[in-house]
């Protein structure tokens, strides 16, 4: 069974799947060990890893290289964040071939123009595509996938761009009509009211996906109560957790004039060996090195 089918079955069984952002194979391994249902190959996280803003600066090749490395070290399904699809519908055809081949089980494509500006930044320039043009991109993705279970998730940035709930609903419906498997509704409001209201008003035939980055209090029980959200993506928590840990540790080392204190509060190197799969390599050495 493909990982895409597994992901679909898990959504059907559990009602809601929890997807963690991964910016590296190591973060993917940690997410899998923690018990997440899948990985989010986040454009924001990868941009931040390179110390760059999330504004279409990272190339498709860079993103694919990371996704392949992640797929090689994790058995979880990967949902690829392909932003606006790297151009027009023809670029989407190419992207879907590449991302499916690289080992992803789903893509999220957003209805913004290329180059995009990250969604949550205050005062960000947010330009949306015409609905018909974005429908063409969704149709291109659906027509190109090999595995019929590969999920094409259409993301509307209508609320991010300051448009009305009606416009967001109209866009979501239009994308579902041309074959999107799910609709991702994104909001930068600091409380979940926009998302809860959208979800209650949603009459589309496909379930919803949310990314509770701006409104963290919307937890699983409240999400499930809304009834039509099947996937929650924790979009920037991996890179923020990593930044917190490094900021604290690095500043303590400078303040302490050495590592004599911090070493007790970080994982021992043996734990890193475990995550690297050293044990297996030692066994392989015994077996094959002559």
Write out the binding residues for ligand SPV, residues 96-135 only, by CB under 6 A.
118-120
Does residue 211 touch ligand SPV according to CB under 6 A?
yes
CB of 7 to ligand SPV, least distance (A): 18
Give the integer Cα–Cα distance in Å for 23 and 44.
9
Does residue 21 touch ligand SPV according to CB under 6 A?
yes
Cis peptide, bond prior to residue 8, ω within 30 of zero: no
The three-state secondary structure class of 85 is: coil
Does residue 236 touch ligand SPV according to CB under 6 A?
yes
Write out the binding residues for Mg ion, residues 66-95 only, by CB under 5 A.
81
Q: Which residues pair with 156 in a beta bridge?
A: 185
Q: Which does 235 bind (CB under 5 to 8 A by kind): ligand SPV, Mg ion, none?
A: ligand SPV
CB of 42 to Mg ion, least distance (A): 6
Q: Cite the beta strand spans of 42-192 per DSSP E.
A: 78-81, 106-110, 151-156, 182-185
How far separated are the first and last CA of the chain, in Å rounded? 39
CB of 147 to ligand SPV, least distance (A): 23
CB of 290 to ligand SPV, least distance (A): 47
Give the integer Cα–Cα distance in Å for 247 and 174.
44
Q: Using the minimum distance from each CB to Mg ion, give the nearer residue, 40 or 175.
A: 40
Residue from 32, 37, 81, 181 that binds ligand SPV (CB under 6 A)?
A: 81
Which residue's structure tokens are 């600066």?
57
CB of 46 to ligand SPV, least distance (A): 8
Does residue 25 touch Mg ion according to CB under 5 A?
no
Residue from 100, 235, 237, 238 that binds ligand SPV (CB under 6 A)?
A: 235
DSSP string, 172-220: HHHHHHTT-SEEEE----SSTHHHHHHHHH---SS-EEE-TTS-TT--H
Give the integer Cα–Cα distance in Å for 137 and 142.
9
Does residue 237 touch ligand SPV according to CB under 6 A?
no
The pair of structure tokens assigned to 231 is 């996937």
Residues classed as catalytic: 54
Q: Which residues bind ligand SPV (CB under 6 A)?
A: 21, 42-45, 54, 81, 118-120, 211, 213, 235-236
Q: Which residues bind Mg ion (CB under 5 A)?
A: 43-44, 81
């Amino acid at each position: 069974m493909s990982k895409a089918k597994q992901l679909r079955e898990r959504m059907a069984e559990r009602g809601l799947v929890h997807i963690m952002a991964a910016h590296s194979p190591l973060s993917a391994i940690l997410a899998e060990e923690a018990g997440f249902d899948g990985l989010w190959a986040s454009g924001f996280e990868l941009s931040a890893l390179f110390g760059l803003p999330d504004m279409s600066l990272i190339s498709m090749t860079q993103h694919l290289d990371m996704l392949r490395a992640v797929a090689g070290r994790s058995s979880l399904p990967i949902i690829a964040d392909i932003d606006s699809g790297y151009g027009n519908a023809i670029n989407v055809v190419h992207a879907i071939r590449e991302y499916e081949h690289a080992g992803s089980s789903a893509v999220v494509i957003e209805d913004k123009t290329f180059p995009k500006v990250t969604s949550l930044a205050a005062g960000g320039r947010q330009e949306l595509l015409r609905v018909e043009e974005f429908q063409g991109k969704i149709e291109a993705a659906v027509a190109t996938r090999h595995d019929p279970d590969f999920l094409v998730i259409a993301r509307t940035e209508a609320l991010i761009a300051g448009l009305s709930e009606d416009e967001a609903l109209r866009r979501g419906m239009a994308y579902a009509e041309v074959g999107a498997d799910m609709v991702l509704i994104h909001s930068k409001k600091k409380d979940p009211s926009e998302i809860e209201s959208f979800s209650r008003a949603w009459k589309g035939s496909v379930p919803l996906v949310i990314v509770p980055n701006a409104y963290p209090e919307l937890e699983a029980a409240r999400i499930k109560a809304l009834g039509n959200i099947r996937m929650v993506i924790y979009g920037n928590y991996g890179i923020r957790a990593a930044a917190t840990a490094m900021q604290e540790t690095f500043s303590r080392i400078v303040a302490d004039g050495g590592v004599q204190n911090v070493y007790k509060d970080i994982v021992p190197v043996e734990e890193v060996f475990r995550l690297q799969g050293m044990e297996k390599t030692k066994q392989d050495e015994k077996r094959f090195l002559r």
